[in-house]
Amino acid sequence: MAPTIILSSLRLRAVLVILACSLVLMTWSPLLNRHTDATVHFPLSFTSHTFINYKWRAVYENLYVYSVYPVPQWDTIPQMHVVILADDTNYLSANCSCRYHHSRTASRAAEITVPGKLEMLPNSNVSPTQVFNIVSGRLRCPYPEEAALNMASLQILCREGSRSGEATFRIPVAASRPPEPLTFAHCGVLYGDYHNPGAIIEFVEYHRLMGVSAFFWNTWRMEEKQKQVLRYYQQAGILHLTEWVLPFSPADGKYVYIDGQMAGIYDCLLKVAPFYDYAVQSDLDEYFATSLQPPTFASIVHHGTFDYAMVRMAWTEANATYSDVLDTSGMPSLRTSRITRRADHVEFSGFRSKYVVRSRYVDLSGNHAVQKFKDRRSTYDEVRDGSPEPEETILLHMRGEYQHGFAETSDRRAAVFAPQLQARVADVWRSIYG
């Protein structure tokens, strides 16, 4: 009996080793083979994911860290990326290390330290010669090959001249499967100025009709009526909201928004990549409008054929009213139905354009276009760009003050959802305001 027992024990151990290796490969592989993504189906809902609510923290004066995410690479060696902000580009001369801590129950060594690499995130909103007063960046921390999957936290230690400091993050759980095909999450920044309650509701419901199932927004300078709308969608499990309070207040608040926005976009793309097939990057006064049928984001990416679609922009009519307009019944009048004229001039690619992308393939994000995709293993893995002509799909920017006197033309593509959109907006409005 003894040999039989030993053999069974060995077989059991072998099975456990195989299962453990499979888990490692599923967790850290380069998202499996991209061409098999479409065959993978598993239950997915927004509320099933646990997203950490990060806050800005100082490593030392004028160097701040926000969030950390596992980022698989094509060569299967994963990294942790830390989102950062600094007061100027001098932070690039800092020396940073990444210290991984095991869980308390681990039998391995208590910690592993590896060198990190600081990089600046590109900002397409400013010229290369323009002086930055807020700089978005990232710290790349290679994941130690000898590390087990029970790493509990990541400690960042940085030194620049006489300044030094540290910050510690809990490591998020990596996704074990590719995202469900043709799922879409929206990344956006919501701030005061022109984002009225009715406009927020219309934007959310319009994009839900186009196929977006979750919204990840950073807020800035909200009023109470806007907050009521946001709470409604948070309670519905549709909206994940981050109070994007930057750790400093320079005199030029717009620069805080613009340069801080680059960190916000990068943070969002990292956040949604494991759970949603595509990320939609746009502002809340911009509407993707397409002549494809059905008029959805799935159609824009040709049902998964394309990994990336950058959509060119046109300003809408100069004399339109862009604030909330209530009809005779007290319900918001849809901007997408009453603003149906735009400039006949469509801006060139990369200028004010926005995009839909499989964010797990993005290396460096941008506001108007992806700046760089991850290095690929071979031409078999080449990112498939399906950026459309404006006759097929256009981005309508609801800000006529920037129209600059171009001749106008009719474009009713955004009004395609009018009947059902009006009903949905009215239902939400009544639920919130009675």
- Same domain for 158 and 222: no
* Domain end point (choices 138, 170, 202): 170
* Domain end point (choices 170, 201, 222): 170
CB atoms < 10 A from the CB of 434, how many?
6
- Same domain for 361 and 300: yes
Q: Please indicate, yes or no, if residue 40 is contained in any of the structural domains.
A: no
Q: Please indicate, yes or no, if residue 4 is contained in any of the structural domains.
A: no
How confident is the model at residue 26, as a pLDDT? 37
The CATH number given to whatever domain includes residue 78 is: 2.60.40
How confident is the model at residue 133, as a pLDDT? 64
**d(Cα 109, Cα 80) in Å, to the nearest integer?**
20
- Same domain for 294 and 200: yes
Q: Please indicate, yes or no, if residue 41 is contained in any of the structural domains.
A: no
How confident is the model at residue 307, as a pLDDT? 95
DSSP 32: S
The CATH number given to whatever domain includes residue 263 is: 3.90.550
256-305 pLDDT, tens digit each = 556 678 899 999 999 999 999 999 999 999 999 999 999 999 999 999 99
DSSP helix/strand/coil, 185: strand
Q: Please indicate, yes or no, if residue 278 is contained in any of the structural domains.
A: yes
- Same domain for 278 and 351: yes
Amino acid at residue number 32: L
How confident is the model at residue 76, as a pLDDT? 56
- Same domain for 225 and 366: yes
DSSP helix/strand/coil, 361: helix
- Same domain for 77 and 223: no
How confident is the model at residue 39, as a pLDDT? 24
- Same domain for 297 and 219: yes
- Same domain for 208 and 158: no
Q: Please indicate, yes or no, if residue 369 is contained in any of the structural domains.
A: yes
**d(Cα 151, Cα 171) in Å, to the nearest integer?**
7
Q: How many contiguous H segments (helices) and E segments (strands) does the chain have? A: 7, 22
How confident is the model at residue 395, as a pLDDT? 98
How confident is the model at residue 271, as a pLDDT? 94
Parent domain of 248: 184-433
Enumerate residues 6+ apart whose C-beta is below 8 A from 379. none
**d(Cα 426, Cα 429) in Å, to the nearest integer?**
5
pTM (predicted TM-score): 0.84
- Same domain for 162 and 89: yes
How confident is the model at residue 218, as a pLDDT? 87
Average pLDDT per run of 10 along the chain, which is 434 residues long? 42 43 36 28 38 86 91 71 85 92 64 92 63 80 73 92 94 81 94 79 98 92 87 96 72 55 92 95 96 98 97 93 90 95 90 93 91 72 90 94 84 97 97 93
**d(Cα 308, Cα 388) in Å, to the nearest integer?**
10
How confident is the model at residue 250, as a pLDDT? 54
Q: Please indicate, yes or no, if residue 3 is contained in any of the structural domains.
A: no
When divided into structural domains, the chain yields a total of: 2
- Same domain for 214 and 152: no
- Same domain for 333 and 206: yes
- Same domain for 121 and 63: yes
Q: Please indicate, yes or no, if residue 38 is contained in any of the structural domains.
A: no
* Domain end point (choices 144, 170, 196): 170
Sign, CA torsion 41/44/50/53? positive
CA distances from 162 to 87, 117, 159, 165, 208 (A): 16, 19, 7, 10, 51
Q: Please indicate, yes or no, if residue 27 is contained in any of the structural domains.
A: no
**d(Cα 394, Cα 412) in Å, to the nearest integer?**
11
